[in-house]
Structure 1
Amino acid sequence: MPQLLLELFSEEIPARMQAQAARDLERMARDGLGKAGLISEGLKAFAGPRRLTLVVEGLPIAQPDVHEELKGPKANAPEQALEGFLRKTGLTREQLTEKDGVLFAHVHKAGRPTPEIIAELVEQIVRGFPWPKSMTWGHGKLRWVRPLQRILCVFNREVVPLSIDGIVAGDLSEGHRFMAETRVFRAREFDEYAEALAGHYVVLDVEERKQRILEGARTLCFAQGLELVEDEGLLDEVAGLAEWPTPILGDMDPAFLSLPPEVIRTSMRTHQKYFAVRKPGEAGLAPKFLVVSNNVAPDGGVEIARGNAKVLSSRLSDAKFFWAEDVKDGFEPWLEKLNGVTFHAKLGTMAERVERIVALAREIAPLVGANADKAAEAARLAKADLASQMVGEFPELQGIMGGYYAREFGLETDIADAIRDHYRPQGPGDSVPTAPLSVAVALADKLDTLVGFFAIDEKPTGSKDPYALRRAALGVIRIILSHNARIELGGIGANGPLLNSYGMLAGQVSKRKLEAAVWKLFQLEKELDIEISGVGPQPVLPPGGKPFWERWWVVKDEILAFLADRLKVLLRDQGKRHDLVDAVFALKGDDLVSIVARVDALSTFLATDDGVNLLAGYKRAANILKAEEKKGPLPTGEPVRAAEPAEEGALFDALAALGPKLDAALAAEDFTGAMTALAGLRAPVDAFFDKVLVNSDVAAERENRLRLLQQVQGAMGRVADFSLVTG
């Protein structure tokens, strides 16, 4: 069947926009064709440095004809109603049919030719394309990411009549900007188009460009006994910069290897889009770099490599200067500068933030097996490198440079590592810190971020999260789980971490600073007379208002709920059933390690016959109790052991035996053991429902049996809220 080939050719499209542009083009074309009733056999979009391409296979040559039967007024309806129906259908009275006294119109609409629909669709796509940034040029009003130069639009090997702001569609495209002998070529179907592009030094498919880069780079490195330091993000970017990517290996002055390898890689990546290389099995870098050219040079790239090496040397000379100047200063002058750096208008300076992190790290340290004094020292220095020249030039190296400077200044290794790692993890693919000291400082940093922005009501909404609070929350969760840290987030210190982070600074921060923090966080009226007495935290009661600490407990609950939501998302992404996660979270605990262990144990238990049948028994008991509760209050008190029937007595005995087992298992946090203990209820519960009539005519029997069902429900509810489990 006929094929549609569309190419939108422009000046250079930013590499970061290309992948989404291909997806948007594919989506808009599929939606538009579908609305027009044109169903294709296949559709694919491509994006490159200067073009967006779309190929649609198996389109019909026209829309299908449409036959509609429209119901009209009754045959004896007033003349005005009939005239209105005739105007709507475009028919005469004689063309209508009558059935059971009602008039019907049979309307036939011939399908429009596909080229007409394509012409309209392409114009809609071009004028409504969702570029993150776009521009206008010349005298027209057309907006595109960069000036649009050509439109190739061919259907069934025929040019689609189409013109947009003076750009007339045709069957011409262009090859490589300067490598192709003849830049312009003609194409009327996709295979011809793709072959012509390759012959004009253009690789259309981004995955092919990426593979070409990797294979060429690895070959060059292997020939010199090196290996490529692979970087997926950089690979994506450079594949969007070159139509005919050609890797070239260049030389770097070995003197620059005295710089931290992260500095070298960041300079290469950020400014020059170079890949780093190294010797296999070695941690450092080799004095080489790999650049991806958009040209096959006659000399094999010698001059290109030489020119790029000069540029790199200039960049790395600056970095070497920054390093030399920074190591002259040391941490203390940088810490002083943080007093003049605003963290957030409502949250004070960076120096004040550091004091909060220090207080919180000291509280967390014993809970993760770290030395409290060391944690406080690492936290005090963690943000210092923000004032260094190197981080000023390369902000992405914050923390990393702090670790290097700490070693340079002779600090202990674990403190240097904690400074380096306290931002981690910075994304789902980033590893988490594992050393106890690093864990303490990283948790303090992230908890302070969460507390601060929740306190000033800067919470994530929908898809907006300008302060990366979801990432901070996920970082807290991943660190705790990977370290198996037994932390109750609502119970660090006397009043919980959300109080310690800010409120318990009376001993560390002056009265003036604490009053300013209260002011900024809660936006109190200027007229409030706030007094803080004593060294420790004291209730501050504004006139007519709530105690200061009570406000913090509200914030605490919000943050714990936020962390719970993030943990639910993480567990669901790991394949955990959402209902089991909800059933465990209903117990209101905030020990994340315990929550995950409960979910795992519950999942395993419900995969067994005992689990399935006991769940069914639980739900039957819950339904009976719910129905009885509607009739009046349920009986209170403890059940007694009935001699008859035997099944009732057996359930009483099973519940009595279960209590101590469940107590011991839960106290030891042996959740698998707790589930095993619950499994002992399966047979007695099944027999009870099979042989015992709960709603006995004898009131005493009925009440005792309802008490037994309440005990079943209560015992199972100690492990999870089984009412939230589906199935």
Structure 2
Amino acid sequence: MDLLIELFSEEIPARMAAKAREDLKSMVTQGLVDAGLTYASAGAFSTPRRLTLSVEGLSSESRPVREERKGPRADAPPAALEGFLRSTGLSLDQLERREDKKGVATLYAVLEKPGRRAPEIIAEVLEATIRTFPWPKSMRWGSGTLKWVRPLHSILCLLSDESGAHVVPMSVDGITSTNTTEGHRFLSKGRFPVTGFDDYAVKLKRAHVVLDQAEREAAILQGAQNLAFAAGLELVEDRGLLTEIAGLVEWPVPLMGRIAEGFLHLPPEVLQTSMKEHQKFFSVKNPRTGRIEAFVTVANTETVDQGATILKGNLKVLGARLSDARFFWDNDLRVAKAGMGEWLEGLRPVTFHNKLGSQADRITRIEALARDIAPLVGADADVAARAARLAKADLRSAMVGEFPELQGKMGRYYALEAGETPEVANAARDHYSPLGPTDTVPTDPVSVAVALADKIDTLTGFWAIDEKPTGSKDPFALRRAALGVIRLVLGNGLTIGLSKLILSGFDKNREAVALINARWVEAGNPMTAVDMDPTVTSADLLAFFHDRLKVFLKDQGIRHDVIDACLALPGNDDLTLLVKRAEALAAFLKSEDGPNLLQGFKRANTILTQAEQKDGVEYSYGADIKFAETDAERALFAALDAAEKSITPAMRAEDFPAAMAAMATLRAPIDAFFTATQINADNPILRRNRLNLLHRIRAICSGVADLTRIEG
């Protein structure tokens, strides 16, 4: 049997459609399965006015269920017996009496539930789904009690098999199920019956409704690209906007219009953001100049004038929106050309955090940090400090006030208009990056210095006032800031010690906290002072970086225990060095020699550790080859000497693959040694010498990574 469900309503907000599709599918199918039905496949669909679910291969009835419940002993008090009878719905003579090996009689209830027909189950599951559907926001309408995202008009619920299609009888708040639906609001008239999903999809398309979200997206994208290409222009693709628009239309009709000449001088980001946020327009650019010169809007209907009236109305509204943007731009340019001092001064009363001061206070800290960081990343300290001073000035601009997502991007334009160098201007745009795992990492040294300073200040500031992420809560996006630092360091191959940067950030934030606390004291309302041990707090923040690094590297296929093995060695605040070591170790463990050598190392470490604990001494005073008795023992001495000569310079040169390769040569000698040699010999001199030899194995291998932390 196949099941078709459609819940037809007023327009569903586009942002809710994707989750609603998944919720409908999971709630209905899980409800059917819980009730004893099985199915082969299910698919959910949505348009602005409908949620649809198609279930194929549904069983016609649930299987009979036989359940056995153990009750009280036969001689149990009457109250216990009555409670068991109530819970089962049986009478005393319907219970079974069974005796165990000791002759103790116990009562059992055998409950048999016959199978139920699919329509009965479907009606119950669908009603429960509708009444408990998890819309982010819902409403009531008329005099009914039902809540839905928008007024629900009809329910289509149809079962079909070889004998034909049948309506599943049900009613929710006066809305009775039928086998009919309706098409496009304007391009189709009246309701029409359907006999199953295929018939439903075909008839909807005839009624100017494209049921599948993915199909609507593809049609919009192809149509928009064709319009742009025909005009010698290029569509600026935006997947998020495409998904949103496809959720707003049932019959997409792309239309292209030209932007008036008086707005073409505005930065492309301004035009694109204004049209996207206010009008849901795609931007169309001139590929030769990069200017945004046109737009594509998507109508939800066909018109006799091929959309001319729609475009005329859109252009009128767009003109008003872009006039506002031009006004903001012109006024911002006046401030920018005067050096942006007005904006910098305007940041003084803007609170960043009540314990960390204003945005102006924060800029002062970032400026000082950027000056410290600049030499470490190859940037000029004065230029980096200047860039840090101006990087956040655009936060007070009118354009960023209207479109906060343009912060940084507008800062670059304003810095250039103020006569700043491209390095300083680019830092304003780039210092927020990277914002996520796929965002581009800045590479210009000045931008890197300011970006690191910005994120280090954020992290050390909130650590200083004990506002750390807890569980899933991270209100100040500190995990994102830490990941940003990691990607900046690794993406640019920087060999810098994070500990030094963290301490520098803490020093500047401790001064800020002390100053702010003094201000509060003067005002008669002192804050609770933060008692912070810089060394302990720095170690805590460094551990946070290491946790974020594990998450980052896990996505690249490097196991957490490999990272732990490398973290255990000195220099773990140099992330680039740490990752190189981890990558080499991960590759080594995937090689043929890796797992075998690891087992040999662990065997040596276990024997040595047990002997040291038993004897109360440390066997680390140097093994002597003159006490070697077997060829395998002498071969291991030679192999350890050769490996040490190779590993030591390789580690000094940070050539970790070479160090791992040298360590791999120990695999065969260690295996042969354990096969041919008794470690705990009767002769105490031989035993001591061999335990000291095991110490050499542990010491040499542990110089590359702490292999005791590797699992398996």
What TM-score results when the alignment is normalised by the length of structure 1?
A: 0.90
Q: Distance in 1 between matches of 2:307 and 2:553?
A: 50
- Structure 2 segments unaligned to the other structure (5+ residues): none
SS of match in other structure, 1:405: helix
In structure 2, relative to structure 1, the CA distance for the partners of 1:553 and 1:163 (3 Å cut) is: farther
CA shift in 2, pair 1:83/1:563, >3 Å: closer
Structure 1: segments with no counterpart, 5+ residues: 529-541
1:108 matches 2:117: no
Report the Cα offset of residue 671 of structure 1: 0.5
1:656-701, Cα deviation, whole Å (9 max, x unpaired): 4433432211111111111122123223212221111111222332
Tell me whether 650-659 or 588-597 shows the greater mean CA deviation: 650-659
CA distance in 2, matches of 1:686, 1:427: 47
Q: 1:142 aligns with which of 126, 146, 158?
A: 146
User: CA 1:338/1:104 → structure 2, altered by over 3 Å: closer, same or farther?
Assistant: closer
**Conserved in 1, the CA contact under 8 Å of 2:94 and 2:109?**
no
**Structure 1 residues 517, 239: CA separation in 2 closer, same or farther (over 3 Å shift)?**
farther
What's the counterpart of residue 686 of structure 2? Answer: 701
Of 106-115 and 614-623, the range deviating more from structure 2: 106-115
Instruction: After superposing the two structures, state which structure 1 stretch, 659-668 or 292-301, moved more.
Output: 659-668
Q: Tell me: CA distance 1:153–1:457, structure 2 relative to 1, closer, same or farther (3 Å).
A: farther
Match of 2:300 in 1: 294
Match of 1:323 in 2: 329
Contact residue 612 and residue 618 of structure 2 kept, 8 A? no
Q: Secondary structure at the match of 2:192?
A: strand
SS in 1 for 2:201: helix
- Contact 1:10–1:148 under 8 Å retained in 2: yes
State the partner residue of 1:181. Answer: 189
CA drift at 1:416: 0.6
Rounded Cα–Cα distance in structure 2 between residues aligned with 1:83 and 1:397: 72
8 Å CA contact 2:370, 2:384 repeated in 1:
yes
Q: Are 1:607 and 2:590 an aligned pair?
A: yes
* Alpha carbons 1:347, 1:520 under 8 Å: kept: no
Q: Say which SS state the counterpart of residue 53 (structure 2) adopts.
A: strand
Is 1:662 the counterpart of 2:661? The answer is: no
Query: Shift of residue 514 of structure 1?
Result: 4.4
Shift of 1:75: 7.7
Query: CA offset at residue 351 of structure 1?
Result: 0.4
Distance 1:458 1:590 in 2: 22
Letter aligned with residue 366 of structure 2: I
- Give the SS at the match of 1:433: coil
- Per-residue CA deviations over 1:284-315 (Å, capped at 9, x if unaligned) read 22x21100111111111111112111211111
Judge conservation of contact 1:498–1:556 (CA < 8 Å) in 2: no
> Equivalent residue for 1:596?
579
The alignment status of 1:246 with 2:250, answered yes or no, reads no
The 5 A counterparts of 1:66-105 are 66-71=65-70, 88=88, 90=90, 93=93, 96=96
Structure 1 residue corresponding to 2:280, chosen from 270, 273, 287: 273
Q: What corresponds to 1:536 in structure 2?
A: none
Quote the residue 2:548 is aligned against: 566
* Pairing partner for 2:608 from 598, 606, 625: 625
Pair 1:583-2:574 in alignment: no
Q: CA deviation at 1:188?
A: 4.0
Residue 41 (structure 2) pairs with residue 34 (structure 1): no
Does the aligned pair in 1 maintain the 2:612–2:619 contact within 8 Å?
A: no
Residue 155 of structure 2 aligns to a residue whose secondary structure is strand
Instruction: Tell me: CA distance 1:207–1:261, structure 2 relative to 1, closer, same or farther (3 Å).
Output: same
CA spacing shift, 1:501–1:146, aligned 2, 3 Å:
farther
Counterpart position of 1:214: 221
Amino acid in structure 1 at the alignment position of 2:567: F
In the alignment, which of 340, 346, 363 is matched to residue 372 of structure 2?
A: 363
Matched, 1:478 2:487: yes
Q: Give me the whole-angstrom Cα distance separating, in 1, the residues matched to 2:519 and 2:651.
A: 44
CA distance in 1, matches of 2:477, 2:178: 47
Distance in 1 of aligned mates of 2:519 and 2:578:
37
Alignment of 1:535-550 (within 5 A): 548=532, 550=533
SS at match of 2:301: coil
Counting only pairs closer than 5 Å after superposition, residues 59-458 of structure 1 correspond to structure 2 as 59-71=58-70, 88=88, 90=90, 93=93, 96=96, 106-156=110-160, 157-182=165-190, 184-285=191-292, 287-330=293-336, 331-458=340-467
1:291–1:645 CA distance, 2 compared to 1 (3 A): same
Deviation of the 1:193 alpha carbon? 1.7
The Cα shift of 1:378 comes to 0.2
> Residues 297, 455 of structure 1: CA spacing in aligned structure 2 closer, same or farther, 3 A cutoff?
farther
Q: What is the count of residue pairs matched by the alignment?
A: 695
* Residues 641, 649 of structure 1: 8 Å contact kept: no
User: What code does the residue aligned with 1:463 have?
Assistant: S
Structure 1 contact 42–56 (Cα < 8 Å) conserved: yes
SS at match of 2:157: strand
- Does the 8 Å contact 1:611/1:679 carry over to 2? yes
Quote the Cα distance in structure 1 between the aligned partners of 2:130 and 2:25: 13
Displacement after TM superposition at 1:45 (Å) = 1.1
Report the TM-score when normalising by structure 2.
0.92
Whole-angstrom CA distance in 2 between matches of 1:726 and 1:73: 49
The answer for the alignment partner of 1:51 in structure 2 is: 50
Q: CA deviation at 1:483?
A: 0.6
Please give the alpha-carbon distance, in whole angstroms, between the structure 2 residues aligned to 1:254 and 1:234: 25
Cα separation, 2, equivalents of 1:66 and 1:630: 61
Q: CA offsets per residue over residues 433-486 of structure 1, 9 Å max, x none?
A: 111111111111111122222333333333332222222111111111111011
Is 275-284 or 386-395 further displaced after alignment?
275-284
Structure 2 CA distance for partners of 1:105 and 1:594, relative to 1, 3 Å: same
Q: CA deviation at 1:51?
A: 1.6
Q: Is the 8 A contact 2:620 2:695 kept in 1?
A: no
CA contact (8 A) 2:373 2:449 kept: yes
Question: 1:106 offset after TM fit, Å?
Answer: 4.4
How much has 1:53 moved relative to structure 2? 1.1
Distance 1:409 1:242 in 2: 44
CA distance in 1, matches of 2:48, 2:395: 36
Shifted more, 476-485 versus 28-37: the winner is: 28-37
Contact residue 635 and residue 703 of structure 1 kept, 8 A? no
**Matching residue's letter, 1:42:** S
CA contact (8 A) 2:518 2:526 kept: no
> In structure 2, how many angstroms separate the alpha carbons of the residues matched to 1:421 and 1:57?
51
1:499 shift after superposition: 2.3
Counterpart of 1:486 in structure 2: which amino acid?
T
2: CA distance, partners of 1:110 / 1:94: 17
Which structure 2 residues correspond to residues 485-496 of structure 1 after superposition, within 5 A? Answer: 485-492=494-501, 496=503
Q: Secondary structure at the match of 1:297?
A: coil
Letter of the structure 1 residue corresponding to residue 629 of structure 2: P
How many angstroms apart in 2 are the aligned matches of 1:426 and 1:602?
Answer: 30
Contact 1:86/1:93 (8 A) holds in 2: no
Q: Distance in 2 between matches of 1:480 and 1:587?
A: 19
Q: Is the 8 A contact 2:45 2:52 kept in 1?
A: yes
* Worse overlay, 323-332 or 390-399: 323-332
Corresponding residue for 1:535? none
SS in structure 1 opposite 2:249?
Answer: coil
**How far did residue 625 of structure 1 move?**
2.8
Residues 94 and 11 of structure 1: CA distance in aligned 2, closer, same or farther (over 3 Å): closer
Aligned amino acid, residue 17 of structure 1: M
For the Cα contact (< 8 Å) 2:346–2:396, is it kept in 1? Answer: yes
2:624 corresponds, among 627, 638, 641, to 641
Percent of matched pairs sharing the same residue:
52
Change (3 A) 1:65 1:48: same
Deviation at 1:71, TM superposition (A): 5.0
Answer yes or no: is the 8 Å Cα contact 1:89–1:105 preserved in 2: no
* Whole-Å separation in 1 of the counterparts to 2:19 and 2:705: 43
- 1: CA distance, partners of 2:464 / 2:23: 39
Distance change >3 Å, CA 680–CA 320, structure 1 → 2: same
Whether the aligned pair in 2 keeps the contact of 1:251 and 1:305 (CA below 8 Å) is: no
Render the CA deviation track for 1:52-87: whole Å, top value 9, x for unaligned: 111111111221111234556778889988777666
Letter in 1 for 2:117: P
Give, in angstroms, the shift of residue 556 of structure 1. 2.0
Which residue number in structure 2 is paired with residue 537 of structure 1?
none
